[in-house]
Amino acid sequence: MPRKTHTEKPGHGRSARKGSTSSERRTPRPKPKIDFTVDALDFKNVNLLRQFVTDQGRILPRKYTGLPAHYQRRLGRAIKRARQALLMK
C-alpha cells in the first residue's frame, strides 16, 4: 500500500494561523539609551526604576530594556527592594 503524501488543505497552512498577518504584529518597545551608571541603580532612585516597569508593575525583560545582563540583574534586585520598602508598587 503506497504512503499518503502530505497535501495542503485549505485553512491548515501557515497563512491560516491566528495572528500571522503583518498588520497584527506587535511593534517592539523603544529601547532606552543607557545614560546612567550601575551606581545609579539604587532602590531609592524610584524615577529611574519606573522606566523599566510596566503599568501593571511587571519588570521589563532585557529584550525590551536593552540593558546588559549585569545591569538587568541589579535592576531587578533594586525594583524588588523598592517594592519591599513601599517606594514602588
pLDDT tens for the chain, 89 residues long, are: 677 777 766 666 555 556 556 667 887 766 666 788 888 899 999 999 999 999 999 999 998 888 989 999 999 999 999 999 999 98
| Total count of residues recorded for the chain | 89
Is the CB of residue 49 less than 8 Å from the CB of residue 78?
Answer: yes
DSSP 53: B
How far is Cα 62 from Cα 71, in angstroms, rounded to an integer?
9
How far is Cα 53 from Cα 80, in angstroms, rounded to an integer?
11
Q: Is this structure's pTM higher than 0.85? A: no
Residue for cell digits 526604576? 49
